[in-house]
Amino acid sequence: MAIYYFELDAHGAPGLLGTVLREFGQQVKQIDVHRASTMPLDLDEVHGVIVSGGGASLTASSGATEAFVRDAVALEIPVLAIGAGARLAARALGGEVSPCSERGIVRVTLNALGREEPIFAGQRWTSDQGVWNDECVSKLPPDAKAFASTPSAKCAGWGLGVWVTAIDWHPEWSAKELAECSASGGGVTPQTVSDIERLGRLFAERVNLMLMPVDRMNAGRTRDLLH
């Protein structure tokens, strides 16, 4: 069983998230969505789908990846959508995306639902995170619930049932990527980088333990997720 990691652009690499998942013994298969040769034919033998991107804007060419998101939800395969992936997943599942420029180190606030969501256990109710957006989710998919916001995005974090978690910030980014995204705003302090990396590692551990545990699959059938 593997986790398929769809990279929407150069800033959608697994980073810290991939490192932690592999430390737990996960098989993470990276997929460059712009190279047809790396795109899978189906989701057989997959127990998790991650879709991630930095500043990538959604275009008509995103359709193939959106189809995999819909297929994963239909097959009850957990989906984690990060950054541009959060917007792609929203659109794929019936939500809407609108122009919304927000770049740099910004304040992310968990709402009452987000504070109770197991995958965010241990996260601060408000924290500084790396963001690089030209768009944001303006309307959630049917039955989805908002978990977090930023100053410019009311739906910066959201979920759909137990299968989909989406965050429009980047806990997986390295110090280099955080410095790049914050350069126009005066840079980022070492303490902020340390805080983001610590919370990012904690989030990655929760993804491994709660959303995509290696023992979720049994004889090819998905086990129940308990929240």
**Model pTM score:** 0.92
Q: How far apart are CA 86 and CA 99, in angstroms?
A: 14
Tokens encoding 172: 């997986």
- Of the chain, the percentage scoring pLDDT greater than 70 comes to 91
Least Cα distance to 81 among 173, 168, 153, 182 occurs for 168
pLDDT the model gives residue 217: 43
Q: Where are the alpha helices (DSSP H) in the chain?
A: 15-23, 63-74, 84-92, 112-116, 175-182, 190-206
pLDDT tens digits along 119-138: 999 999 999 999 998 899 99
For 2-218, the fitting CATH number among 3.30.43.10, 3.40.50.720, 3.60.20.10, 3.40.50.880 is: 3.40.50.880
pLDDT tens digits along 5-54: 999 998 899 999 999 999 999 999 999 999 988 899 999 999 999 999 98
Residue type at position 129: Q
Tokens encoding 108: 């992310």
Residue 220 has pLDDT above 50, yes or no: no
- Of the chain, the percentage scoring pLDDT greater than 90 comes to 79
Residue type at position 11: H
